[in-house]
A and B are shown apart, each in its own frame.
Chain A
Amino acid sequence: MASVRVSMLVLMCLLPLTAPTDWALDVSPASSSDGVFRLHWEGPGNTVSLEESTQGDFEHLLTVYAGDDRAVLISGKADGVYRYRLLDEGRNVVANATATVVHHPLARAWAFFSIGLLVFLATVWVVARGARGDDEVKS
């Protein structure tokens, strides 16, 4: 029984060290409302290329990254659907992912902005008025 436990323990220790056999490309979040998302990949090799299709058909390509890293942060994207593919060292396509960007409506943004401005001005009013009263009390 003890030897089984030891074997299990050794196996558990080794599990995280086992290299993945297939490539996986994740995008998070898959639907973004601020133009920001992160692509992360795992796989059996090191050097990869990540390509973005600028028109959805992978005929017009932009190489987003080429190297040994395991993730890329994408930001500042306008509304649209963005398709990515991962290539291994032999230039074989090993994984695909899609991200969608739909920014918040401007009306919603201005509504939050207005609420923030109102709270800020009211806070300044409370503090400034209180501080003035404080001065009067002290004098």
Chain B
Amino acid sequence: MDVNAASGVLDAELGWVILVAFGVFWVVLGAWLGRRNQDLEGYMLAGRKVGMALGTATAMATWVTSNTTMAAPQLALQMGIWGMVGYSLGAVGLILFAPLARRIRVLMPNGFTSGDFVRLRYGKVAWRVFLAISLFYAFGWLISMGMAGGVLIHALTGIDYRIGMSVIVWMCVAYTLLGGLRAVIGTDFIQTLIILVGVVTLAWLAMDRIGFDDMHAAVLEQRPELLNLLMPAAIMFLFNNLLFGVGEIFHSNVWWSRAFAFREGVGFKAYAVAGLFWAPIPIVAGFVALAVPALGINVPAADMVGPLVAAHLLGESGAILVFIVVFAALASSLDSLLAATSDLILTDLYKGHLKPDADPASLAKAARWVVLGLGLFTWLLCLPRLTTLAELLYFTGAFVASTIWPIATGLFWRRTNPGGATAAMVLGTGLGLASYFLVGFYVAALVSAAVSMSVVLLSTWLRPADFDWSALDPATTVMGGGTGR
């Protein structure tokens, strides 16, 4: 997709040097970090001994994704002030998950995946619906991440989208394959430091080079609605983004696997602190998009705005910095998602559906094949660049927001019943998708969450269950040998 003939702020050779240097560094580091993995639990859950510093860093780094570094500027360019602010509300998901993480650790000290919980709490029908939603979302996120890598590299160096995308996808596959969750969390820690230092430096440099007055005047003249706090689509978007973020985090095995992997007592603090630290990042990242009119930059595709503006503002050194920061952000999310989705496929599909009697040794071998297969699948789907990042991402919003209430009430209420939870996910997703096409991408998650909440409340009121929390016993998890209720 060559929409920008003039792209390539950096020399392609320099781009290749950075790509190869960082690629080799992350793969070697991942292999080194994973050297102590001795069994399946070590590979999948880092031995369940992750402490506070690593826990906070991995939660934060994973949530700083292409969403934050590339789609936040895109949404600032499309939705203006509320685009940035709405994006930072994604932090609410992390903060709200803090009590859930503690609850998960108490109820399921030996659990493996979010699918495990849904199966034991709501039964097999709800489990399968949940798996469909969760896997669809995971693929959407994986593809958006791979696409973001290709877009970034193309925008900054002119290297072909497919080549850049291939490098970032296979690099993450390599170190996830070699080191498992331990490698993912260890590299996340270093990637967080790079992201924080890079974003703060960029913001400071941007402030130094361009004044508020010029930016404001240019936006007001050329794109006035971006400063309109009563822009209708942006008003709709505000809670949509918040609920999308909550849905992503509440259901996804990316966050559940960390709740299982954190040492006891760490989950609550790690998620709460990560949320607070994360909140300003989309505002800083999104802010640069408002410089587009003042700088007279052409943005051929919405998701290229972040790298283009930063490179234009800050020249070659800025472009290198953006490259490294976004590369780290993408890698930190892509690896987490690869690991967590592989766990879900291994535990809930392979062991749960295909080979219930698989022993730990064969599962450990299968875990690596699943990572490899998932990487290949992601790469194939990323090859044709079908849509923009935000459009792809928000399409999945209709799916994930439908899980908020079944998950939250499933963890805290005995009375929520399986039929209600299943119907909430199905109807929430269906009506969320309808609103995506009938109204816009900025209401899909909101409608989905509202429908799901109504169904859960109504069904719980009409047919209250009396769930026995001990049914979440470790012996009945898929990995514990159980195959379901």
Q: Please give the residue numbers on chain A whose beta carbons come within 8 Å of chain B beta carbons, in ascending order.
A: 33-36, 38, 40, 46, 65, 67-73, 75-78, 103-106, 108-110, 112-113, 115-120, 122-124, 126-131, 133-134, 138
- B102 pairs with A131, CB closer than 8 A: yes
A103-B233, A109-B233, A120-B243 known; A70+B2 contact, CB < 8 A: yes
Query: In whole angstroms, how far apart are the Cα atoms of A72 and B301 in the complex?
Result: 7
Query: In whole angstroms, how far apart are the Cα atoms of A117 and B235 in the complex?
Result: 11
- B225 pairs with A77, CB closer than 8 A: yes
A77-B225, A115-B446 known; A106+B232 contact, CB < 8 A: yes
- Measured CB to CB, the nearest residue on chain A to B454 is A119
A-B contact count (CB 8 A): 165
- A76 pairs with B96, CB closer than 8 A: no
Query: In whole angstroms, how far apart are the Cα atoms of A119 and B298 in the complex?
Result: 39
- B239 pairs with A119, CB closer than 8 A: yes
Other-chain contact of B232, A73, A108, A120, A124 (Cβ < 8 Å)? A108
Q: Which of B319-327, B354-362, B408-416 contacts A (4 or more CB under 8 A)?
A: B408-416
- A115 pairs with B223, CB closer than 8 A: no
| Chain A proximity of B2: nearest CB distance (Å) | 7
Query: In whole angstroms, how far apart are the Cα atoms of A8 and B440 in the complex?
Result: 43
Query: In whole angstroms, how far apart are the Cα atoms of A112 and B149 in the complex?
Result: 33
| Chain B proximity of A118: nearest CB distance (Å) | 8
Which chain A residues lie closer than 8 Å to B80 at the CB level? 76
Other-chain contact of A116, B78, B102, B238 (Cβ < 8 Å)? B238
- A131 pairs with B99, CB closer than 8 A: yes
- B235 pairs with A127, CB closer than 8 A: no
Other-chain contact of A130, B99, B246, B302, B446 (Cβ < 8 Å)? B99
A69-B4, A112-B235, A123-B405 known; A34+B299 contact, CB < 8 A: no
Query: In whole angstroms, how far apart are the Cα atoms of A67 and B4 in the complex?
Result: 10
Q: Which of B257-313 contact A (CB under 8 A)?
A: 298-302, 305
- B298 pairs with A116, CB closer than 8 A: no
Chain B: how many interface residues by the 8 Å CB criterion? Answer: 58
Query: In whole angstroms, how far apart are the Cα atoms of A73 and B303 in the complex?
Result: 10
Which chain A residues lie closer than 8 Å to B226 at the CB level? 75-76
Query: In whole angstroms, how far apart are the Cα atoms of A87 and B156 in the complex?
Result: 28
Query: In whole angstroms, how far apart are the Cα atoms of A38 and B240 in the complex?
Result: 23
Chain B CB count within 10 A is highest, among A105, A113, A119, A120, for A119
Closest 9 CB pairs of A and B: A116-B239, A76-B223, A130-B412, A131-B99, A34-B233, A109-B232, A76-B226, A104-B232, A71-B300
- Measured CB to CB, the nearest residue on chain B to A104 is B232
Question: Is B443 part of the binding interface, using a Cβ–Cβ cutoff of 8 Å?
Answer: yes
Which chain A residues lie closer than 8 Å to B301 at the CB level? 38, 71, 73
Query: In whole angstroms, how far apart are the Cα atoms of A121 and B333 in the complex?
Result: 29
A35-B231, A72-B298, A112-B443 known; A129+B412 contact, CB < 8 A: yes
5 new A-B contacts, CB < 8 A, other than A113-B235, A123-B405, are A69-B298, A71-B4, A116-B449, A118-B450, A123-B408
- B405 pairs with A78, CB closer than 8 A: no
Question: Is B230 part of the binding interface, using a Cβ–Cβ cutoff of 8 Å?
Answer: yes
Q: Please give the residue numbers on chain B whose beta carbons come within 8 Å of chain A beta carbons, in ascending order.
A: 2-6, 77-80, 92, 96, 99-100, 102-103, 106, 219, 222-227, 230-236, 238-240, 242-243, 246, 298-302, 305, 404-405, 408-409, 411-413, 439-440, 442-443, 446-447, 449-450, 453
- Measured CB to CB, the nearest residue on chain A to B89 is A120
Other-chain contact of A70, B300, B404, B446, B450 (Cβ < 8 Å)? B300
| Chain B proximity of A127: nearest CB distance (Å) | 5
- A127 pairs with B300, CB closer than 8 A: no
| Chain A proximity of B478: nearest CB distance (Å) | 25
- B246 pairs with A123, CB closer than 8 A: yes
Q: Give 14 pairs: A residue, B residue, CB < 8 Å, sorted on A.
A: A68-B5, A68-B6, A69-B298, A71-B3, A71-B300, A72-B298, A109-B233, A112-B239, A113-B236, A115-B450, A123-B449, A128-B99, A134-B106, A138-B106
Other-chain contact of B412, A38, A108, A133 (Cβ < 8 Å)? A133
Other-chain contact of B233, A35, A73, A116 (Cβ < 8 Å)? A35
A78-B225, A122-B453 known; A69+B5 contact, CB < 8 A: yes
Query: In whole angstroms, how far apart are the Cα atoms of A108 and B440 in the complex?
Result: 12
Which chain B residues lie closer than 8 Å to A127 at the CB level? 96, 99-100, 408, 412
- A36 pairs with B239, CB closer than 8 A: no
| Chain B proximity of A131: nearest CB distance (Å) | 4
Other-chain contact of A119, B4, B100, B238, B449 (Cβ < 8 Å)? B449
